[in-house]
Amino acid sequence: MANSMARSFLQVAATEEVASPLRVVQIEGLVILKIIKHCKEFSPALVTGQLLGLDVGSVLEVTNCFPFPIREEDEEIEADGANYQLEMMRCLREVNVDNNTVGWYQSTILGSYQTVELIETFTNYQENIRRCVCIIYDPSRSNQGVLALKALKLSDSFMELYRANNFTGEKLREKNLSWVDIFEEIPIKVSNSALISAFMTELESDTPVTQCDYDGLQLSTKPYMERNVEFLIECMDDLSMEQQKFQFYYRSLSRQQAQQQAWLQKRRTENMARKAAGEEPLPEEDPSNPIFKPIPEPSRLESFLVTNQIENYCNQINGVAGQNFNRLYLMKSLQDN
């Protein structure tokens, strides 16, 4: 521990100028266990917690974490939450544990985390901490026998756009940003201290694979699939709504253009007449006219997020379906035998 600390200080000093991009999130095994415990215990309620660690060049080390109390929609309690956080940090500092915030973790249901709130929280964090990550744990998916842990960050180009709050088609094209580019997933590396590793190897050698992971053989994945499809349907509805907004926008836009054309036409003929009469032509622009007021283009952010979610669900369905087939074939061959 002390060793790594010294190295990290050196590295921090060295890489101060050239901020290399974040490559990997290195999480202590203990932290992961703590996160899983917290999320699973409270499932299906969604919980969050703070991640503590160090930012070491392209590696973000997460060495500790603590849970937040379950948030309630109340001003006072929210303030309590902030107090709790500060108090907790202070206590940790007193016992000389890492107390450098590097992000937060949260649980989710079926990976439906791509929301505007998440992005807002991200921007809040990123204002203070240049590099931060959000670790998302999905307890329901973990039930399928996978470790559903993800480390996310927002892409820089997206952040820029988001700050300007400018999600028009033109800007997006300019930045060459598509829905895929909102979140960046960072690979997670689990690290343990040498002692623990050694202990683990010790354990392993004693016990060859005897303990079966029966979870992995579970065949009743129907509810999981159903819920995925349900969510997918909801997303479709959302997407249609977004699309309707857009259609409406286009319709009013074209109507406005037609009006503008008509107005211009009128103005031109009027100018011709004035010219003939030897008068000054009127300007061809009239900013005071309401038909020249630009109609605000609807933001694409929502539809991007929805698309992201859809992708997420699809991936999950694909993954689960694939696994299920495997299991079914397995079961069939077992039965045949």
Partner 1 sequence: MASKFWTQGGSDTEEEETDIEDEIENGGAGETTAAAAGSRYLQTNASDSDDSDGQKRVVRSAKDKRFEEMASTVDQMKNAMKINDWVSLQESFDKINKQLEKVMRVTESDRVPNLYIKCLVMLEDFLAEALANKEAKKKMSSSNHKALNAMKQKLKKNNKQYEELINKYRENPESEEEKFEDEDEDEDEDESGSELEDPSQIAAESSDEDDEGEDVDDDDADGAWEKKLSKKEKLMDREFKKDPSEITWDTVNKKFKEVVAARGRKGTGKFEQVEQLTFLTKVAKTPAQKLEILFSVISAQFDVNPGLSGHMPINVWKKCVQNMLVILDILVQYPNIVVDDMVEPDENETQKGADYDGTIRVWGNLVAFLERIDNEFFKSLQCIDPHTREYVERLRDEPLFLVLAQNVQEYLERIGDLKSAAKVALRRVELVYYKPQEVYDAMRQLAVLSEDGEKDGDETKVEETRGTSAFVVTPELVSRKLTFPENSRALMDILVTLIYKSGDERTKARAMLCDIYHHALFDEFSIARDLLLMSHLQDTIQHMDVSTQILFNRAMAQVGLCAFRVGLIAEGHGCLSELYSGGRVKELLAQGVSQSRYHEKTPEQERLERRRQMPYHMHINLELLEAVHLICAMLLEVPNMAANSLDAKRKVISKTFRRLLEVSERQPFTGPPENVRDHVMAATRALCKGDFQKAFDVINSLDVWKLLRNRESVLEMLKAKIKEEALRTYLFTYCSSYDTLGLDQLTKMFDLSDAQIHSIVSKMLVNEELHASWDQPTRCIIFHDVEYSRLQALAFQLTEKLSILAESNERAVEARFGGGGLDLPLRRRDNQEYAAGTSGGGGGRWPDLSYNQGRQGSSGRAAYTGGGRPLALGQASRDRSSQSRGTGGYSGRAGSGMRGYQMDASARMVSLSRGVRG
Q: Which residues bind partner 1 (CB under 8 A)?
A: 222, 225-226, 229-230, 232-233, 236-237, 239-240, 243-244, 246-247, 250-251, 254
Return phi, psi of residue 235, to 5°: -60, -40
**Cβ closest to partner 1, residue 233 vs residue 330:** 233
Q: Are strands 183-186 and 188-191 parallel, antiparallel or unpaired?
A: unpaired
**Burial bucket for residue 307 (CB in 10 Å: 0-12, 13-18, 19+):** buried
Residue 30 C-beta: closest distance to partner 1, Å? 39
Q: Distance (Å, rounded) from C-alpha 25 to C-alpha 314?
A: 26
First to last CA, the chain: 53
**Cβ closest to partner 1, residue 123 vs residue 243:** 243
Residue 125 C-beta: closest distance to partner 1, Å? 34
**Cβ closest to partner 1, residue 193 vs residue 244:** 244
Q: Distance (Å, rounded) from C-alpha 150 to C-alpha 37?
A: 16
Residue 139: which residues within 8 A CB-CB, separation 6 or more?
Answer: 36, 39, 40, 43, 44, 107, 148
**Cβ closest to partner 1, residue 160 vs residue 230:** 230
Q: Cα 65–151–95 angle (5° rounding)?
A: 15
Q: Cα 89–90–92 angle (5° rounding)?
A: 65
Matching residue, tokens 């999130």: 25
Contact call for residues 123 and 161 (beta carbons, < 8 A): no
Q: Distance (Å, rounded) from C-alpha 306 to C-alpha 314?
A: 12
**Cβ closest to partner 1, residue 14 vs residue 321:** 321
How many other CB atoms are found less than 10 A from the CB of residue 191?
A: 16
Q: Distance (Å, rounded) from C-alpha 302 to C-alpha 167?
A: 10
**Cβ closest to partner 1, residue 107 vs residue 228:** 228
**Cβ closest to partner 1, residue 124 vs residue 254:** 254
**Cβ closest to partner 1, residue 217 vs residue 233:** 233
Three-class SS of 11-64? HHHHCCCCCCCCCEEEEEHHHHHHHHHHHHHHCCCCCEEEEEEEEECCEEEEEE
Cα–Cα nearest to 185, from 130, 140, 136, 228: 136
Residue 161 C-beta: closest distance to partner 1, Å? 22
Residue 73 C-beta: closest distance to partner 1, Å? 29
Residue 108 C-beta: closest distance to partner 1, Å? 21
**Cβ closest to partner 1, residue 63 vs residue 309:** 309
Cα–Cα nearest to 313, from 201, 214, 230, 223: 230
